[in-house]
Amino acid sequence: MGCKLLAALSAFSVMPAFAAPTIYEAEDLPGASVAEGAEFSGGKYAKTADPSGITFTVKVEETAVYDITTKVLIKQYDWTTSKIAVNGVDVGSMLTTPRNCDSSYVVSASAKMKAGENKITVGNQALGVDYITVERHPDAVFKISELPVTPNATESARKVYTYLRDNFGKKTVSGMMISDQNFNYDYGNMRLIPPGGCTPADSCKFNDEEVSWKGQTDIAEFYKRSGHYPAIGGFDMLFAAGGHHEEGWFKGYTENNLLMTEDLWNMGGIPTYTWHWKVGEDTVFYTQGTPAGFNNPGCTEGVMGTSNTNTCFNYTKAFKGEQCQELDETSQEYKDIVADVDIVSGYFKQLQDKGIAVVWRPLHEASGGWFWWGTASPECYVQLYRLVFDRMVKTNKLTNLIWVWNINTDPKFGYDYSALNAAWYPGDEYVDIVAVDIYDPLNDHNSAANYYNKIVSDVGTSKMIALSENGAIPDIDSIAEDKAYWSYWMTWSQTWSGNFLEKTPTDMWKRNLDDERIIALDDMPGWDNVKADIRMARRIGSNNLAVNMQGNQVTVSLAHAGAASIALFDLLGHKVASLAQGNLPAGTTAFNLDGIASGHYIVRVKVGSTSLAKKISLK
């Protein structure tokens, strides 16, 4: 099969202008050996004897985040050891798409560079490099809706949303996950014993302070290191459904979630929930092996149940069609899904009745494939997410939830920021916050601007962006310098062998939590002092617009048909070509760019009231 040249692309909100990048040719570097590469779309590809690759010296005028593009000649296996590094720190990999033959590729990365000279290293000694381009990453301009996506959201939900929106881009809210729990339970009568409720006959294991939210091990350890309590508390519906969920300790765990949530809310904190979802009577949510989940050879037709390590639940059977276009309400899979959603909805309804709002992150780490909801196609995942939303909001009348969608890397493309896959995005009308989980890449406490900017690029600027799980925390100075203001971060648990609090040194904990740009619990104003928007909530109009490159074609994807205007501009704003004018059907439409000269361009798309500008490079 032949190999095609892939164009590197970056997307931004609509900007008034894009500055032309500075180009550095590898062939001009001292000691570079050059071979003609005409058979690979032209160019001169330089190699080096240095195992780390070819290094460019780049001088910039200001400390900022810069976009780096490079054209490389990669043989079949070269990518496995090829990186893009800035000043000795890896900022991206060459693995942008599966490849199985020799070809040239244009790949990109983003990185912070200091004013003055910086070293950019590309590839390895076997990899040919044609050039790099460097340009300052444009500052994103966010336009966040005034109201959450849930119609007629409760006053408490609007208060939480308003508070997060008003602080987005200025401050970051601190958070901590609870895994293990301290609670007292009367197993004979199947009831949770609240603080102050213990009698001598109960033989309670924990005192009242230990069963409070502040007394939970994960939260107490957070305070010990930082001198503050986090403003956001993380909870899990882990045992709300699935096998054993009605049994003593499991039921107690879920009921204690609600008790701690109320405790945190009354102190002015923000509760957030995720759901490691075990369906029906299943007892695991992980998939194992290749292929994963219900595609695993160990799974048999009609099996929902489990082994110790693998769930065989096939949620696509709850739908009809190859892309899960239609619900199959007669299927057992559909019945299992909605039964579990109804159970969880019942718990959230208890909180709603008490005036408590929740930041809700269902079906998290979407494209990773290690959970059963991530083992099918992006199209089916989107329909599953919408089913959960519609069941909770429309059927079960939950109006106290702020909806978080968790973008993730896709193993088909790699595990760094460049592999984040926005094809799994459910649509603007279903999401309030886009979040990502980052662990090892934050060990040096950088801002993770690569991930932040990739989300802006692929999802847009109409949603807040958060760090929904992390090991080490991003340092607030780095966040501010890179203009990567996460709405919040939430360190994963110390208990259950997590030990993630230890990823951040004590002095870093204290310095960040003492900083006025980080919001701790004692910085929260109290919900009585937060004013909610009094306008009626509305759904955000959206065509779920996405623009991508495939070879020499631009693809435009819409969830719904609409009148569209699509044009190609050069970097000076001159129109090069009109690609479409008129009604565009739902689905994906491709536009061929054959005949367009190589260079950098902007694709501008307007569909109804939704618009998007995407920068592309043609080689």
Which secondary-structure segment (H or E) carries 465? Answer: strand 464-470
Report the chain's C-alpha Rg in angstroms: 25
- Please give the full DSSP string across 130-157, using - where no structure is assigned: EEEEEEEPPPP-----SS-SSTT--HHH
Please tell me the distance from the alpha carbon of residue 591 to that of residue 573, in angstroms, as a whole number: 20
Please tell me the distance from the alpha carbon of residue 264 to that of residue 527, in angstroms, as a whole number: 11
- Please give the full DSSP string across 17-71, using - where no structure is assigned: --PPPEEEEGGGSTT-EEEE-GGGTS-EEEE-S-TT-EEEEEEESS-EEEEEEEE
Q: How many residues does the chain have?
A: 619
Closest CA to 342 of 280, 404, 273, 260: 280
Beta-carbon contacts of 124 under 8 Å, excluding residues fewer than 6 positions away, are 51, 52, 53, 78, 81, 82
Please tell me the distance from the alpha carbon of residue 333 to that of residue 340, in angstroms, as a whole number: 11
- Beta-bridge partners for 11: 614
Please tell me the distance from the alpha carbon of residue 431 to that of residue 402, in angstroms, as a whole number: 8
Closest CA to 483 of 138, 164, 145, 163: 138
Which secondary-structure segment (H or E) carries 509? Answer: helix 506-514
Three-state secondary structure call for residue 434: strand
Please tell me the distance from the alpha carbon of residue 8 to that of residue 96, in angstroms, as a whole number: 9
DSSP state of 145: -
Q: Taken in order 416, 387, 151, 158, is the CA torsion positive or negative?
A: negative
Q: What are phi and psi of 136, to 5 degrees?
A: -65, 135
Three-state SS letters, 226-247: HCCCECEEEEECCCCCCCCCCC
Three-state secondary structure call for residue 583: strand
**Residues identified as active-site:** 365, 469
Three-state secondary structure call for residue 250: helix
Is 420 in contact with 454 (CB distance < 8 Å)?
yes
Please tell me the distance from the alpha carbon of residue 357 to that of residue 262, in angstroms, as a whole number: 10
DSSP state of 599: E
The Cβ of residue 480 has, within 10 Å, a number of other Cβ atoms equal to 16
Is 258 in contact with 200 (CB distance < 8 Å)?
no
In the chain, helix, strand, coil percent, each to 5?
25, 30, 45
Structure-derived torsion over alpha carbons of residues 360, 442, 98, 84, reported in degrees to the nearest 10: 150
Please tell me the distance from the alpha carbon of residue 312 to that of residue 293, in angstroms, as a whole number: 5
